[in-house]
Structure 1
Amino acid sequence: MKNYTFYIFLVLTLSLVSCKKEEAPKPKVIYQETSKAKNEVPEDTTLIEIADLPINMEGTNFLIFPIGTVSSDKKGIKSSYDSNTGYTVSNYGEYQITGYLQNLKFQEIGQDTIYSLTDKNVLIETATYLKNIADKTKKQIMVFTLADLDTNKDNKVNNNDIKSLYLSDVSGKNFTKVSTDFQELIDWNVIDSRNRLYFRAIEDTNKNGAFDKEDKLHYYFVNLLDKEWKATEINPLP
């Protein structure tokens, strides 16, 4: 009886250890040949690309179509973003589009042409219109948080990869990356009085594939009124 009890205990212990191993977070970066990641992602033919109905940000002259994918099986259509509505790939809040989007498409009001934000393989999580900056300076800008590289080498560009920061005009033109490759975006905000966007990012300085307390934080700002956007690093710490 004792041997049987010990056997049960051993099996349960091994099962718990196995579960813990399976639940361990995967690294966000695998450095072997990572520079080639964006060229190695195969197309997933099981997904169906669809567009949500267009959005017009207040005060702008453009329609924005969120583009995402849904999967199809015998049970019907399923969206990875909205489990309640299979054909919905995005959500629109106050001047912000959220979702897991492969692209955004733009159409100037009164024109027939519809064009893409980018031809890159990306996953857009947020697209934010800077309404206050537009009201103050008349310059209409959008900010994007997205993944643009398969940094963890799983043959997908998804929310398990490093998040980056991009800007564009509200027309979708001048789509520009302002964060640094392989630095994970933490957060960003806009100081209207300075016409600046500030953001933080973390660098995997010990190259262990994860972002932790051993790594280095970077602080940047972008002058939104510059003709060409670029990030300037600053050090607010002593």
Structure 2
Amino acid sequence: MKNINLLLIGMTALLFVACNKEADEKPKVSYESTAKEKPAPKTDTTQIEVADLPIHIPGTNYLIHPVGDLNIYGGAKKYESGSATNDIGFTISNYSEGEIAGYLRNLKFQQIGSDSIHALSDKPLLIQTATYLKSVAEKTKQQVMVYALADMDTNKDGKLDASDIKTLYLSESNGGRFTKMSADFQELIDWSLLESMNRLYFRTIEDTNKNGEFDKNDVIHYHYIDLSTKDWKVADYQPI
């Protein structure tokens, strides 16, 4: 009987590992439907929204209020005042040298001297980074923010999270002209600012073999945006 129990426990453990592995290998893109409409994520009404204290990026005339979910992904820290007894994370973002990072549902902007607050977008988002380009502002007088975020439920699991495709957006320092710069269904690999030319270079990868993953058999696209003008047009280049 003891051996049978051990065998059952072992089989259960293997099943649990297999299920977890399958969840971890969830594809970034699902092609279940042939419809061309963008997969719209559903708003999770069970989450509790919380805003961090406002951030002022030097050189701008706006406060930024990061907005996110309490205990998102279970990665929250204990309340740091020492008076809390529950493992509830009230801090949802990190700020360093002009960059706000986290898993944020929105950013709210408030002009200094005004009580009016407006949102970056009224659509579901998951913002991972928002970066102010200080050198571009100094050279061109354009105050530009760069965002890496998810805006579509590309794996069609009914929610917007880090498992969905990450894409590139730009906006002004007040959240205005919030514009998508990378193509739909192309994963943002990275971006870099070439200060000498006021160009924002970025790479994306396209799932050209339609297997739902981004791998060595897919195509990498190379782009740049000339930030010395206000057009914000994406140009392709071929380094290979």
Q: With structure 1 as the length reference, what TM-score do the two structures score?
A: 0.87
What are the superposed Cα offsets for residues 67-99 of structure 1, whole Å, 9 maximum, x if unpaired?
1111xxxxxxx3545323411111111110001
In structure 2, how many angstroms separate the alpha carbons of the residues matched to 1:195 and 1:153?
Answer: 37
Report the equivalent of 1:108: 111
Q: 1:143 aligns with which of 141, 146, 153?
A: 146
In structure 2, the CA distance between the partners of 1:156 and 1:136, relative to structure 1 (3 Å rule), is same
Q: Hey, what's the Cα distance between the residues in 2 that align with 1:27 and 1:198? A: 27
Provide the residue aligned with 1:45 in structure 2.
45
Query: Alpha-carbon deviation of 1:135?
Result: 1.8
Question: 1:79 and 1:154 mapped to 2: Cα distance?
Answer: 17
Check if 1:65 corresponds to 2:65. Answer: yes
Q: 1:200 pairs with 188, 203, 222, which one?
A: 203
Secondary structure at the aligned position of 2:146 is classed as strand
Shift of 1:192: 0.6
CA-based RMSD of the aligned residues comes to: 2.3
Asked if 1:159 is matched to 2:162, the reply is yes
Distance 2:78 2:231 in 1: 41
The one-letter amino acid of 1:228's match is: D
Residue 182 (structure 2) aligned to one of 179, 182, 186: 179
The 8 Å contact of residues 222 and 236 in structure 2, kept in 1 or not, is answered as: yes
Separation (CA, whole Å) in 1 of partners of 2:123 and 2:145:
18
The aligned residue for residue 221 of structure 2 is 218
Distance 1:226 1:136 in 2: 11
Contact map agreement 2:165 2:185 (CA 8 A) in 1 = yes
Is 13-22 or 159-168 further displaced after alignment? 13-22
Tell me the distance in 2 between the aligned counterparts of 1:162 and 1:79.
Answer: 18
Residue 75 (structure 1) aligns with: none
Q: Distance in 2 between matches of 1:133 and 1:155?
A: 38
Q: Distance in 1 between matches of 2:20 and 2:76?
A: 26
Residues 10 and 216 (structure 1 numbering): CA distance in 2 closer, same or farther, change over 3 Å?
farther
Go from structure 1 to structure 2 and tell me whether the alpha carbon gap of 1:171 and 1:21 turns closer, same or farther (over 3 Å shift): same
Q: Secondary structure at the match of 1:194?
A: coil
Paired AA for residue 225 in structure 2: V
CA distance in 1: counterparts of 2:222 and 2:21, whole angstroms: 32
Where does the alignment leave 5 or more consecutive residues of structure 1 unmatched? Answer: 71-77
- Percent same amino acid at aligned positions? 52
Q: How far did residue 44 of structure 1 move?
A: 1.7
Aligned residue number for residue 28 of structure 1: 28
TM-score, length-normalised on structure 2?
0.86
1:133 paired residue number:
136
Instruction: Check the 8 A contact 1:38/1:148 in 2, yes or no.
Output: no
Counterpart in the other structure of 1:19:
17
Task: For residue 83 of structure 1, give the secondary structure of its aligned residue in structure 2.
Answer: coil
Once the 2 structures are TM-superposed, how far is the Cα of residue 42 of structure 1 from its aligned partner?
2.9
> Which SS does the other structure have where 2:55 is aligned?
coil
CA contact (8 A) 1:130 1:142 kept: yes
Task: Output one character per residue of 1:24-74: Cα deviation in whole Å (capped at 9) or x when no partner.
Answer: 4110000233744543x333222111111111101110000001111xxxx
**How far 1:17 moved relative to its partner?**
6.8
**Number of paired residues?**
226
Q: Retained in 2: the 8 A contact 1:37–1:153?
A: no
Please point out which of 79, 83, 100 is paired with 2:77: 83
Give 1:54's aligned residue: 54
Q: Structure 1 residues 46, 11: closer, same or farther in 2, change over 3 A? A: closer
Deviation at 1:14, TM superposition (A): 8.3
Secondary structure (helix, strand or coil) at the match of 1:135 reads: helix
